Structure 1
Amino acid sequence: MEKEVSRKIRSHIICLEGLRALQKDCWSWEKRLKHRNNRFDSFLKKNTDEGQSNTSKLQRKYDNLVLKQSEAAKRYRAILVCFQEKMEDEKKLRTAVLQKVTAIREKLSSVMKESLTHAYSDMIQAVYMAKEQNGYELSMFL
């Protein structure tokens, strides 16, 4: 049982390390996405405020911004899905570890109670035997 718990704990630690790495990636891609959105918004604002005609150079720049923005959004969503899946894995591992620890605790408690009961019974039997054999009055110990 202890080996199982140790394995689960190691798996949980590895999972947490993976979660940390994914979290950093999520933050990075979220930052990139915000940057791309800001650039796109400023491009639109600048080019619609000035009333410029739709030239091929502006169209290429617009298309490039849209492409980079959609790529950043796609990557951010993908890394977010991976992060959420890893979170579910971590939750399952944590639950399994807690269940194993609870089972060990219950088993130890049961064994300890049984041992104490057995020791108490042995002690009573020893006192009874000593009283019978030696003729001493040992009732004050009980």
Structure 2
Amino acid sequence: MAYYGNLALRPERKPQETQRPEKEREKVVRRRSIPIGEKLLYLLTVAVCAVVAGLIIYRYAEIYQMNRQIQEMNRQYEQTTGQMKELQREVERLSDPKRIIDEATNKLGMVPLDPNQGITVGEGGKAIAMNTKK
């Protein structure tokens, strides 16, 4: 039969049994494993790197926390300074002599003191204005 590229028509070949002599067998190359001491050294190196990374992250966390506290204190300082300025303006407004005289005469019913009169303290701790010039 002629073979024209059709595999169905191709005659089968018998497998050739070729045994190699034992001397010619391929040598199996075994890789030596890493010694235990070297493995422990690698493990120790990885552990040290992990500890150093942990310390660095811990320090960054502390720095972040301190920055937050500084910002909070600055905000409180700004707020307290604003309140202090507002209270200072209130003190200046309330300690105005004209306002004090108006409050005393209008709301409390006090009268201005005549320079010709003197003040003496009577019974019960009340002040009494009296004429000292005659």
* TM-score (normalizing by structure 2): 0.49
Would you tell me which structure has more strand in proportion to its own residues? 2
* TM-score (normalizing by structure 1): 0.47
Would you tell me which structure has more helix in proportion to its own residues? 1
